[in-house]
Structure 1
Amino acid sequence: MHNYDKLFVWHPYASAIDKNPVYGVKKAKGVNLYLDSGEKVIDGMSSWWCVINGYNHPVLNKAIKNQLEKFSHVMFGGLTHKPATELAKKINDITPSSLQKVFFSDSGSVAVEVAMKFAIQYWHSENQNDKKKFLTVRNGYHGDTMGTMSVSDPTNGLHTIFKNSLIKQYYVSCPEDVNSYSRKTSKSLKEMEKQLKDKNAKIAAVIIEPILQGAGGMRIYHPDYLVQLRKLCTKYNVLLILDEIATGFGRTGKLFGFNHSKIIPDILCLGKSITGGYMSLAATVVSKKIANAISNKEPGIFMHGPTYMANPLACSVAIANINLLFSYDWEKKIKKIEEILYRELKHISKNDAVNDFRVIGAIGVLEMKNKVNVGSIQKKFVKHGIWLRPFSNLIYIMPPYIISQKDLNFLLNQLDKVINLEY
């Protein structure tokens, strides 16, 4: 397997030639990955934040198997099926009532692309065709496709090489840290209002990740920032798109990140945790007002249609995953995870190599003073029985919600040992 991997496979965010080690997985169960080399590691990443209910869960396995015996896929153009309609209803049940129409896609990046297209087409339907730009904040991340890269800070973010190939959008400073934010003195809010006041005739929407800026730096900001942003968008007649791909379905301690602020977006993007990591699925949810406006103006349709849109296997397991989440006291579980993360990361942060630590819900972050040597430190993680995947100068933990206190303490104790060895 490893010879074929080296010869033929190009991994994400990696070189095709000068590769860091990759570790073969032969089995996964609960919070554990079982590697080809014989090691068992506790997954502190939830496989990039989506495996909230753990691996190989019997309830989720059953949902996939039951649907597979009926049919695995049908095109969604001109056809529909029960898994899609039931999932759309469930999403409606757990999101604000004004968000009614659900457009399914197959990845978070595409969900955001769809949201951006919805915003532009909405203003077209309102005869405001100049409103086709987007306003966002520095250090955000919304995906790796061309449209999403344009709103993911191509100057300071992950995609600087593409900067001159992307549509130019509008940017303001990122929201202040949760502990330093002040509504009256916020530089970001002042810049936001100035941009909206001066350029609202050109801006279709503001797009932002609620409460937590994920892959752009794992930064936590104050809920009141979103409250004020919602007011500004309403005041200046600009749509608000919230990207909940990473934060949705409980990760921050609330069902959705925007619940911390008690606001309602015009367009909502969901993904990652929606299927519990079983299948690739995402959703863009829009208000009835937007849906009706787009549908009542030429061309009267929305031109987008992923081949695997509303895949029945993915929709079936998403329904089971959401039901499973609500079958236990997930808020209590995440609160306990948050308490343990805070206590242990506070201790680990005393290491001189650590610049700062931060925690919200089932998210814990160590900000190191220097960039992390991923290849070196990951070997030590595996040797110590844990799986973490740092990036830049950040080591972060986003475990499955079902992780036991014993396993979480083990993960964090081993993290402490590795940091002391590495630094």
Structure 2
Amino acid sequence: MRRNLFRQTARWLARPPPCCSTRRTLSTQADRSRSCPYLNARIDATAGANADRDNSLATERLLAADVRRLWHPYTSATQPVPCLAVSHASGVTLTLEDGRELIDGMSSWWAAVHGYAVPELDEAASQQLGSMAHVMFGGLTHRPAVRLAELLVQVTPEPLQRVFLCDSGSIAVEVAIKMALQYWRARGIEGRSRLLTVRGGYHGDTFGAMAVCDPVNGMHAEMFGGVLAKHLFAPRPAPLFGQPCAEKDVEEFATMLREHEHELAAVILEPIVQGAGGMHFYSADYLRRVRELCNQHGLTCLTCVLLILDEIATGFGRTGALFACDHAGIAPDILCLGKALTGGYLTMGATLATDAVAEGASGGRGAVRPVPLMHGPTFMANPLACAVAHASVQLLLATPWQARVRAISAQLEAELRPLAASSAVKDVRVLGAIGVVEMKEPIHMPTVSAMLVERGVWLRPFGRLLYTMPPFIMTAAELRRVTDGMRAVVEATESAQIGSGQRLESDVWRDAQRKPGE
């Protein structure tokens, strides 16, 4: 049976695609009718119609296979959300299989800060492919990894000196947690195995990371709350970005830190911006006070509570500073990076640590015995990803990224702030290249996404949040398309055209799949 299946597959693959036979027929007809302009016009029209039909059928088959075989993120396998098929991307534009173009206001989940088809990153990838795409990192090293590590140490806060190159942002958080736990255990200090964080956080979808996401309103709470490690959660930071932080604002955090110091391995926070947990922008003074509190707890610097900062979403300029912790003028003991590290080209993460953490966890600084860090992803320090990441960071530093982010921020403020007057809107907030419109009611994502697609814009709302985190290269005209789309959603919600369930998801997405003019 398997052999027959292979034969059928081979015969199917050997058949020329429909477009080949169509092209041969049309070519013969054209040869016979070169002297007849009218017939030539009919042939051209027929060719165009056939090509459109073939493309349409090919796209339908692609999407059908997608539904049949693929399990997309944050979706049900039994009730999948329909997808749009992307053919290629360039600049800030996604081109769909049917030829439609969408301006990407999401930077592919906040990663593609340079946009798509970036010559410098393409060249870095091409050159590295010419020598070595991958090699294991156990017992071996290579130039791209060393160059990237040197550059990351150069651009991150000064105390961070050691770099662990892993394969995603979530894994960077897992490594950070392991470093913190091992920092105490390697020195014979038992019991310090819990983490302190704040409500409203998000740190990834792997188990260690999920355990420090919001335990009540987080996306993992319902399915996994009962099986995750139990950590400590202080209230979400109350003072907003730009506001001072009073002592009462950190009082409960300080109390929890003091009462549980003997069992704490580390504090972990997203600095300034809590991303997927609610797009909450909090005070730099609050972050500064947390650093001070961590330093105060311990008889010496070796017994202070460690501070882990998760800059996976905020790192590399998103908030207007190179790293969000720069707003507070502080440095963590451990730093997590990802997303924009490779400019959105390849999956990669990095965990940076101070010498004190690295040595304490590994055998120095009073450790009882030398201990290796037991983490080694197969694709850790992948040479191709390292080469592209190095090129991406260099490109960012070589461009006027700060001016670009300031311009994006000013435009988002000017064009989104008026939406705060809408009866459907709870809040509008802007920080750097992040613009958020928080609605009063949950957003029906398929309906709103389809509405935006009709306007040539790609966003992915969640919860009550309609937001954009555009590539830094986006022009004012392109960004205006994005904010116009957001305004249209708000206006439609306000007038009850969406959100009350008048249209089925399938109807909306079927309309969105149609080409203009159909």
Indicate the residue corresponding to 1:360 in structure 2.
Answer: 431
- Tell me the residue number matched to 2:356: 289
The AA in structure 2 aligned to 1:328 is T
Deviation at residue 179 of structure 1 after TM alignment = 6.1
Structure 1 counterpart of 2:72, one-letter code? H
Paired with 2:489 and 2:355, the residues of 1 have a C-alpha distance of: 51
Q: Does 1:412 align with 2:483?
A: yes
- Give 1:146's aligned residue: 207
Q: 1:364 to 1:202 in 2, by over 3 A?
A: same
Asked if the contact 2:241–2:281 (Cα under 8 Å) also holds between the matched residues in 1, the reply is no
2:179 equivalent in structure 1:
118
User: Paired residue for 1:335?
Assistant: 406
Corresponding position of 1:173:
235
In 1: Cα distance, 2:92 partner to 2:375 partner: 37
State the Cα distance separating 1:56 from its structure 2 match. 0.7
Q: CA deviation at 1:212?
A: 0.3
8 Å Cα contact 2:425-2:490 kept in structure 1: no
Which residue identity is paired with 1:368?
M
Q: Structure 2 CA distance, aligned partners of 1:13 and 1:3? A: 19
Is 1:199 matched up with 2:260? yes
What are the residue-to-residue correspondences of 1:44-193 with 2, within 5 Å? 44-160=105-221, 161-178=223-240, 182-187=244-249, 189-193=250-254
Identity %: 46
Q: Distance in 1 between matches of 2:362 and 2:462?
A: 42
The one-letter amino acid paired with 1:219 is: H
Provide the C-alpha distance between the structure 2 equivalents of 1:39 and 1:349, rounded to a whole number of angstroms. Answer: 31
Offset at residue 349 of structure 1 (A)? 2.7
CA distance in 2: counterparts of 1:216 and 1:10, whole angstroms = 23
> SS at 2:466's partner residue?
strand
Residues 152-198 of structure 1 deviation map (CA, whole Å, 9 limit, x = unaligned): 012221111211101100111010141695533544x1111111111
**How far apart, CA to CA, are the structure 1 residues paired with 2:209 and 2:461?**
23
Partner of 2:262: helix, strand, or coil?
A: coil
Q: Residue 275 of structure 1 aligns with which residue?
A: 342
| Cross-structure match for 2:452 | 381
Mapped partners of 1:156, 1:111: distance in 2? 23
C-alpha distance in structure 2 between counterparts of 1:34 and 1:419, whole Å: 26
SS of aligned partner of 1:204: strand
How far apart in 2 are the matches of 1:355 and 1:170? 29
Q: Secondary structure at the match of 1:210?
A: coil
Give the counterpart letter for 2:382 in structure 1. Answer: N
- Counterpart position of 2:77: 16
Given the superposition, is the C-alpha separation of residues 379 and 172 from structure 1 closer, same or farther in structure 2, using an over 3 Å criterion?
same
Residues 154 and 162 of structure 1 are in contact (CA less than 8 Å); yes or no, is this contact kept in structure 2? Answer: no
Q: Deviations over 1:48-89 (max 9, x none)?
A: 000000101111101001000101000000000000000000
Higher RCO, Cα 8 Å, sep 6+: 1
Letter in 2 for 1:164: G
Rounded Cα–Cα distance in structure 2 between residues aligned with 1:385 and 1:181 = 37
Deviates more, 1:296-305 or 1:275-284: 296-305
Equivalent residues of 2:424, 2:493 under 8 A apart: no
Q: Counterpart amino acid of 1:210?
A: P
Residues in 1 aligned to 2:157 and 2:314: alpha-carbon distance in whole angstroms? 16
Q: What is the DSSP-based 3-state SS (H/G/I as helix, E as strand, rest coil) of the residue aligned with 2:421?
A: coil
Instruction: Indicate the SS of the match to 1:201.
Output: helix
Q: 1:32 aligns with which of 93, 96, 100?
A: 93
- Structure 2 match to 1:248: 315
The CA deviation string for residues 105-163 of structure 1, in whole angstroms up to 9 with x for no partner, is 11111100100000010011232121110000001000111111110012221111211
1:406 CA displacement: 1.3
Query: What corresponds to 1:209 in structure 2?
Result: 270
CA RMSD of aligned residues (A): 1.2
State the distance in 2 between where 1:23 and 1:186 align: 48
CA contact (8 A) 2:294 2:305 kept: yes
| Contact kept? 1:41, 1:385, Cα under 8 Å | yes
TM-score by length of 2: 0.80
- CA–CA distance in structure 2, aligned partners of residues 112 and 66 of structure 1: 30
**Amino acid of the structure 2 residue aligned with 1:199:** H
SS in 2 for 1:273: helix
Cα displacement string for residues 262-300 of structure 1 (whole angstroms, at most 9, x for unaligned residues): 001000000000000000000000001111122214352
**Matches of 1:268 and 1:122 in 2, distance apart?**
15
1:388 is displaced (CA, Å) by 0.3
> Which residue in the other structure is 1:260 paired with?
327
Query: How far apart in 2 are the matches of 1:329 and 1:211?
Result: 23
Higher helix content, 1 or 2: 2
8 Å CA contact 2:239–2:245 kept in 1: the answer is no
| Number of positions where the alignment pairs a residue of Structure 1 with one of Structure 2 | 422
Find the aligned partners of 1:389 and 1:414 in 2 and give their Cα distance.
Answer: 12
For the residue of structure 1 that corresponds to 2:125, the secondary structure is helix
Distance in 2, Cα, partners of 1:156 & 1:190: 23
Maintained 8 Å contact 1:46/1:399: yes
Alignment of 1:381-400 (within 5 A): 381-400=452-471
Please, which runs of 5 or more residues in structure 2 have no aligned partner? Answer: 1-61, 298-303, 495-518
